[in-house]
Amino acid sequence: MTDLRVERPLDDKVLRDWQHVHNTIIPTHLLSLDQVRDRARRHHLEVAYLGDELVGCSTVRPPADGGATATVISRVLPAHRRRGFGAELYERGLARAREVGAEVIETVVLSSNEDGLRFAHGRGFVEIERYLLPGDTIPWVDLRLA
């Protein structure tokens, strides 16, 4: 579709790029590099570039303990939105989730991220829950692919 280059974060430079996208889009839940390293061990993370320019990242949380639900999250920096990059990351994540046995696909979006909610709804996700994490003031929205 595009000249998007996607790679797994296998070194600190790419981990920092994933961290930058996450922390830019989710300023209410900033992650340290150590927390990102931990996520990279537990989840399937990818980072997207257009040439050498950082575009976005994705996360696939595989089904846990024999479950059937995976979480697929794609994040695109504001300057690169509405160009198909989120869709490409999402499709890659969806394929990965299916590879690891997911039958149910969910995502999570910060309620203040109107672009993210619009993106999820446009792909057939429906809201299943809104909640605040301890100390948060902006709710999270859990959505499930219908």
Amino acid present at 55: V
Convert 61-109 into a string of H (helix), E (strand) and C (coil): ECCCCCCCEEEEEEEECHHHCCCCHHHHHHHHHHHHHHHCCCCEEEEEE
Number of structural domains found in the chain: 1
Q: What is the pLDDT of residue 110?
A: 94
66 falls in which pLDDT band (50, 70, 90)?
confident
Mean pLDDT computed over 115-119:
94
Tell me how far apart the alpha carbons of residues 114 and 87 are, in angstroms, rounded to a whole number: 16
Q: What is the pLDDT of residue 75?
A: 97
2 falls in which pLDDT band (50, 70, 90)?
low
* Tens of pLDDT, residues 69-95: 999 999 999 999 999 999 999 999 999
Cα distance between the two ends of the chain? 25
125 falls in which pLDDT band (50, 70, 90)?
very high
Domain CATH code at residue 131: 3.40.630.30
Tell me how far apart the alpha carbons of residues 22 and 45 are, in angstroms, rounded to a whole number: 11
4 falls in which pLDDT band (50, 70, 90)?
very high
Residue 1 confidence (pLDDT) above 80: no
* Tens of pLDDT, residues 21-47: 999 999 988 999 999 999 999 999 999
Q: Could you tell me the residue range of the domain that residue 85 belongs to?
A: 4-145
Per the CB < 8 A criterion, the answer to whether 116 and 127 are in contact is: no
